Structure 1
């Protein structure tokens, strides 16, 4: 296939770069390497000229600074969404995609049609398709829905791949998203910090910071966490539900060595991770994942980043983290808060065991490197797996 022009649909921009945006950026970068003669566009549709200014002020400098990406690697395009048309974004993406030899959609929960020569859907987790598209609320005949436009579906994890088959009755090819860890950051002096990253929200897949706070308080009140701090980092939206959830967490944590770091910049995030000894993760805990599988972590890119920085991961045993962590070797998987506290105590009290496992965590993180990502992406596209 002669590939001259590639488009990567990143979704709608917000005031800061999220994990989904990083995935789109890395995908555009990878495609530019796989097809060196092609021009690559990273597509951020906008609803007003102010959003174009946001991208120029926020996204473009970060892309250059943290990824070393120049305008020659790919360009950011910002088509304006018409205000006078029903389903305007769907029509816009359909029209924009027709100009590309390869059109790759990374937008979360996207159901946008595509008209490129080769259309690829990169799925974080499959949503339930409308009855009009599948014939029922779970799986069905995708030939009647938007998915029929896409020749290849990529999954961010084997967990997502399983539920793509279950919900959409189609195959997919696993391409693990790569973390972004600046060189030399893992040499920071370690502090007695436990860190967790996740949006402060109760929608889609809650990160269950409430469970982590309760576990840490139990350790403190048992006299087992003297000199330790819990750092909770994550994006906080302006929604009422997000503010209410944050207020509940702050009230629960009041009086304990627990810090909140909402919507921090990338430099601060990297610095906090680089100094942390332990990384906690609780998404999926308390949910019936056979009925609500989206509540588990779909992959866990922040977890991989923490491992690359030398923090020992202790994560709930469900979803993507169960694929990332080699239980008992490069971290721990827990099923109950009691196990979370037990494994944490072991890492807090035994310096030698912590050092060994931190080194194993760093080695394991290399399995999800950018180089591995590009190799898997090229393999899936070349073989047309699905």
Structure 2
């Protein structure tokens, strides 16, 4: 079969990009698969940073001419071209979170990474969404979502058949090593959208450090990428400025090898996306699943994550980690783990066992099942 995949943000190197690249890798085993792009990605960089194999996947690049760029007609021209070429595929997969173009292949799948409420605020926006966005979405056979959390919100607006395909966790890549007194958080440094809230976590760690002797021999490590957007660079600078004088360390744009090592040596994993945000009003800015949480658990880090978004689907509170609702709970849980070595080891082992359910083998099998491919 010939399969076309439109993934417009491959160069972001995030969880969404790993998700679609893994799908492409799996489907390319026995099919003709190609990414449809308007900016050619660095395939070697994708493979290295995301731990994927794209040797069997072709890249089909379209050029936008000078006038399109000058007149800011990018989205209109892209939508026109994509609509036209979908007819050339047996299966078309769309991962564009901004534009749902009409699809005309034999089978069409739309990957909805983010709850759609962010486009349905005012009455005017609701009418526009129902008139254009929803009509285009009806050309798709299935909507694919990351988690039960996203599915719940998508069901409020769309009638299409919705399937859950949890993102994969490379449990074979991440493993526990000699543990040190380290808390780790992993995620891109950026503002807006579903910000990882590093600045908030830094302030909470400082409060823990200042008020508890048992935390004096602990360190807090933050790993994540930062691009060229000035606002994001400024956010990183603010985080670094806030950290001065404390055992807080940054691993910016670090390699996969360094990240694996950091996970292996850390004891506790913090995650705070959605902190001080209203999940019911802004579900789109929550963590939609949480691949980094899974990676940390694979390495034996005890997850202490916010009780919002897709996080509670991975971490069962008190069983294989802990969830928290406010900064007080985050500090209390963390302090309990720091002062109770038995509890820390017990939950570390439980986390390793739990995350096996989200391993790559299950993702491969579920992907083939979703697209009706058999061994």
Tell whether the structures are fold-level matches, with TM greater than 0.5.
yes
Q: Which is worse superposed, 253-262 or 367-376?
A: 367-376
Question: Which residue in 2 is equivalent to 1:55?
Answer: 42
355 and 109 in structure 1: CA distance in 2 versus 1, 3 angstrom threshold = farther
Judge conservation of contact 1:181–1:305 (CA < 8 Å) in 2.
Answer: yes
Shift of 1:82: 4.2
Confirm or deny that 1:78 pairs with 2:64: no
Judge conservation of contact 1:139–1:168 (CA < 8 Å) in 2.
Answer: no
Task: Return the alpha-carbon distance in structure 2 between the equivalents of residues 121 and 287 of structure 1.
Answer: 27
SS of 1:29 mapped into structure 2 = helix
- CA deviations on 1:265-287 (whole Å, 9 max, x unpaired) are 22222221122111100111111
Question: Which residue in 1 is equivalent to 2:82?
Answer: 93
Task: Return the alpha-carbon distance in structure 1 between the equivalents of residues 128 and 265 of structure 2.
Answer: 44
SS of 1:304 mapped into structure 2 = helix
Question: Which residue in 1 is equivalent to 2:260?
Answer: 270
Among 106, 117, 121, the alignment partner of 2:106 is 117
Task: Return the alpha-carbon distance in structure 2 between the equivalents of residues 88 and 181 of structure 1.
Answer: 41
- CA deviations on 1:288-335 (whole Å, 9 max, x unpaired) are 111111121111111111111111100000000011101101100001
82 and 101 in structure 1: CA distance in 2 versus 1, 3 angstrom threshold = farther
Among 196, 204, 221, the alignment partner of 1:231 is 221
- CA deviations on 1:354-375 (whole Å, 9 max, x unpaired) are 1111111111111111222233
Shift of 1:138: 9.0
Segments of 5+ residues of structure 2 without an aligned counterpart are none
Over aligned residues, Cα RMSD in angstroms?
A: 2.7
SS of 1:149 mapped into structure 2 = coil
SS of 2:155 mapped into structure 1 = helix
Alignment of 1:159-174 (within 5 A): 159-174=149-164
- CA deviations on 1:155-186 (whole Å, 9 max, x unpaired) are 10111111112244544111101022444x41
SS of 2:222 mapped into structure 1 = strand
Task: Return the alpha-carbon distance in structure 1 between the equivalents of residues 132 and 155 of structure 2.
Answer: 11
Task: Return the alpha-carbon distance in structure 2 between the equivalents of residues 125 and 328 of structure 1.
Answer: 28
Task: Return the alpha-carbon distance in structure 1 between the equivalents of residues 127 and 276 of structure 2.
Answer: 24
Question: Which residue in 2 is equivalent to 1:380?
Answer: 370
Judge conservation of contact 1:135–1:141 (CA < 8 Å) in 2.
Answer: no
Shift of 1:187: 4.1
Question: Which residue in 1 is equivalent to 2:137?
Answer: 147
SS of 1:145 mapped into structure 2 = helix
Task: Return the alpha-carbon distance in structure 2 between the equivalents of residues 13 and 377 of structure 1.
Answer: 19
Judge conservation of contact 1:157–1:176 (CA < 8 Å) in 2.
Answer: yes
Task: Return the alpha-carbon distance in structure 2 between the equivalents of residues 372 and 84 of structure 1.
Answer: 47
Question: Which residue in 1 is equivalent to 2:38?
Answer: 45
Judge conservation of contact 1:156–1:298 (CA < 8 Å) in 2.
Answer: yes
Question: Which residue in 2 is equivalent to 1:343?
Answer: 333
Confirm or deny that 1:369 pairs with 2:359: yes
Judge conservation of contact 1:186–1:308 (CA < 8 Å) in 2.
Answer: yes
Judge conservation of contact 2:220–2:249 (CA < 8 Å) in 1.
Answer: yes
SS of 1:224 mapped into structure 2 = helix
Task: Return the alpha-carbon distance in structure 2 between the equivalents of residues 316 and 132 of structure 1.
Answer: 29
Task: Return the alpha-carbon distance in structure 1 between the equivalents of residues 48 and 270 of structure 2.
Answer: 30
| TM-score, scaled to structure 2 | 0.88
Judge conservation of contact 1:207–1:282 (CA < 8 Å) in 2.
Answer: yes
Confirm or deny that 1:12 pairs with 2:9: yes
SS of 1:360 mapped into structure 2 = helix
Question: Which residue in 2 is equivalent to 1:255?
Answer: 245
Task: Return the alpha-carbon distance in structure 2 between the equivalents of residues 314 and 132 of structure 1.
Answer: 36
Q: Which runs of 4+ in 1 moved over 6 A?
A: 130-135
- CA deviations on 1:129-170 (whole Å, 9 max, x unpaired) are 479999726974678532122111011011111111224454
Among 206, 211, 218, the alignment partner of 1:217 is 206
Aligned length: 365
Judge conservation of contact 1:212–1:282 (CA < 8 Å) in 2.
Answer: yes
Q: Which is worse superposed, 307-316 or 232-241?
A: 232-241
Task: Return the alpha-carbon distance in structure 1 between the equivalents of residues 35 and 306 of structure 2.
Answer: 34
Judge conservation of contact 1:193–1:231 (CA < 8 Å) in 2.
Answer: yes
Task: Return the alpha-carbon distance in structure 1 between the equivalents of residues 328 and 319 of structure 2.
Answer: 19
Task: Return the alpha-carbon distance in structure 2 between the equivalents of residues 377 and 131 of structure 1.
Answer: 33
| TM-score, scaled to structure 1 | 0.86
